[in-house]
Structure 1
């Protein structure tokens, strides 16, 4: 991947500081985004995006810190769990966000976005491309964004339909968005974001101008907001000129210490182990402990997926060997108390539980004589013996 900057690539910490200071200098108040846990009464298990905790204020409630906000929000998504192992997906990640709650409009947000990427992070103008909502049957072209980008001299691609349209669900606040892409190829930029995958999206600016009702109709919002989100890890990958998030300084100690400890044979397995143990450490830091149901099942599932990967080649491997340095590295990065001992204790305890569960599962499944399991079998094994479907499938495969 081509490094888009003309100077020494910034560290992750420098990227965060540059982003937050840029917006603070422009009147934005820094708000906390330090926890994965959603506000009380929110039905989701974990915070999934930077705007999630701000939903009431986007709906019109006054924010105690004012109309201009900036933050770094850690997020967790289990929907992408099966994608972890490629170059971009992570279970726990961080979102850089800025908001205008009924204050400035889309053109100002886009101008600041260009200024920060080009002047703040040093990305050359010719390596930037943007997309703008091109209209549909209900809403016309996002003319404000289109005019702003033309004034700034950036190439624009118009898209229609669901492209460049943001909504938080079938009803509620919504509006057109404009996405900023960076060219990551080793040759001069070519094509457009929809025709060449080397254009990588780094920043989305949402113009919340409408409310969609149950009948599908749109009405103007009383308070027009701007909501921007930029994945920190993806931005760092681009700025440091590496091929994947695992090549950034975020994972340097992991890729230095894990391979000599556990020879996992392939890149995907190494990435899964690093991601899951890293994510578990963050979840633990937010006070969530493994359990059979609800929020606690997520860290348990991460640990068991890690162990399943580790034990494919060597059942004797143990999480008790995880270097304390790696736990400390993650705790420091996410601003958690640096206490690796309790994390390692939980990992060892969960490992013992999983070994006992596997032993029991093998005995129970031996009664089925290797026949094809039915949905009723899976239901019985889960409810009676506490064996999740993915665990049963793993035992069947190894048999």
Structure 2
């Protein structure tokens, strides 16, 4: 089942149940939003989760591209990507959590053909402030799905203050043996769908007050689900990476961890560029710069003659097309090559600076600040240059 088929099945299933499809936004939050990038499908909907009426109604569904810089260090494992697509549904003060979970179970087992015996759920166990999520627990017990009760793992918040509430997560077994143990004890249980019962707002003092309406917010990572449905061992093996796996090995011989990082970071840089962001020294631009330079660092580690100019045009075009972006692929390629030239010059200058007697000793925090402020050398780059020695 291809990712496009999964997305279509998901959206049509919820449209048949009264949800209106809303257009996913770009990676760029609206003006005034403090975050750099859209990190989840619910992010653009925050005002409506807080009580503002949505023009499309109280039941919504969409496909949203997201970027999470918090996952950068985890890229390379089987389940994390920097840029990914999130399938999402919302009840804005309409139905409650058990209805959402029932639909989720039916879609996974009937609509997508998943064996119910490969599912496991987790449910909020309750604490001194809020009680156990007994309604979700009862729903899963009635469906015959095993349940693990947790506290911190099943409480969702979007930060230290703001909307929050208990959640119930659905896990799919990825092992090649019959399922055993529980999601917190065995990482072969892969989280695929989170249903948040967003009922509270946390205040500055940590107290909880009811939201004006009781919402349900769900999110399902499409590439993660696709890899499991397609019988693949990681998100990097699902169909959205087909051109990357087919074409990149022809130009660069890479081990598996490096290949995953290169595919993820270049693909992410293409998508962010497709939404109009260019490399820079701060903010969103620095995220693009960091992505490209991490790729160049690992490529040049084994062969300094490698160039992003060798990247096949097909992978750029495929990525822009998949994310429905109208940016000229040639413009994206020029961005990559310009950043490559800038980074090459910076590396050369950095080697010359670090060769000075002053910096031959172990570097202190004052040295790192000086190298950044005076010579434009970030500490991660200084660390990379020191590893070359």
Q: What is the TM-score when the length of structure 2 is the normalising length? A: 0.97
1:289–1:299 Cα contact (<8 Å) kept = yes
- Are 1:311 and 2:300 an aligned pair? yes
Runs of 4+, deviation exceeding 4 Å = none
**Pairing of 1:42-191 with structure 2 (within 5 A):** 42-160=33-151, 162-191=152-181
- Are 1:358 and 2:318 an aligned pair? no
- Are 1:40 and 2:31 an aligned pair? yes
Distance 1:19 1:144 in 2: 24
- Are 1:348 and 2:337 an aligned pair? yes
**Pairing of 1:276-287 with structure 2 (within 5 A):** 276-287=265-276
**CA shift for structure 1 position 227:** 0.3
**CA shift for structure 1 position 369:** 5.2
Equivalent residue, structure 2, for 1:385: 375
1:128–1:183 Cα contact (<8 Å) kept = yes
Equivalent residue, structure 1, for 2:233: 243
Equivalent residue, structure 1, for 2:222: 232
Range with bigger deviation, 388-397 or 212-221 = 212-221
1:180–1:204 Cα contact (<8 Å) kept = yes
Distance 1:259 1:366 in 2: 35
1:332–1:338 Cα contact (<8 Å) kept = no
Structure 2 counterpart of 1:375, from 352, 356, 365: 365
Number of equivalences: 388
Higher normalized helix content (fraction of residues):
2
1:328–1:338 Cα contact (<8 Å) kept = no
Distance 1:199 1:294 in 2: 35
1:67–1:100 Cα contact (<8 Å) kept = yes
Post-superposition CA distance 1:246-298 (Å, at most 9, x none): 1111112111111120112x211111111111001000100001111121111
Range with bigger deviation, 80-89 or 61-70 = 80-89
Distance 2:65 2:325 in 1: 12
Range with bigger deviation, 284-293 or 217-226 = 217-226
Structure 1 stretches of 5 or more lacking a match? 1-9
Structure 2 stretches of 5 or more lacking a match? none
Post-superposition CA distance 1:307-357 (Å, at most 9, x none): 111101111111111100000110111001263211111111111111111
Distance 1:172 1:82 in 2: 27
Distance 1:131 1:252 in 2: 33
Structure 2 counterpart of 1:198, from 180, 188, 204: 188
1:167–1:173 Cα contact (<8 Å) kept = yes
Post-superposition CA distance 1:44-66 (Å, at most 9, x none): 11111111111111111111111
Structure 1 146/358 Cα, relative in aligned 2: closer, same or farther at 3 Å?
same
Equivalent residue, structure 2, for 1:4: none
**Pairing of 1:198-277 with structure 2 (within 5 A):** 198-264=188-254, 266-277=255-266
Structure 1 counterpart of 2:3, from 2, 7, 12: 12
**CA shift for structure 1 position 183:** 1.4
SS of equivalent residue, structure 2 residue 225: helix
2:25–2:44 Cα contact (<8 Å) kept = no
Equivalent residue, structure 1, for 2:313: 324
**CA shift for structure 1 position 213:** 2.6
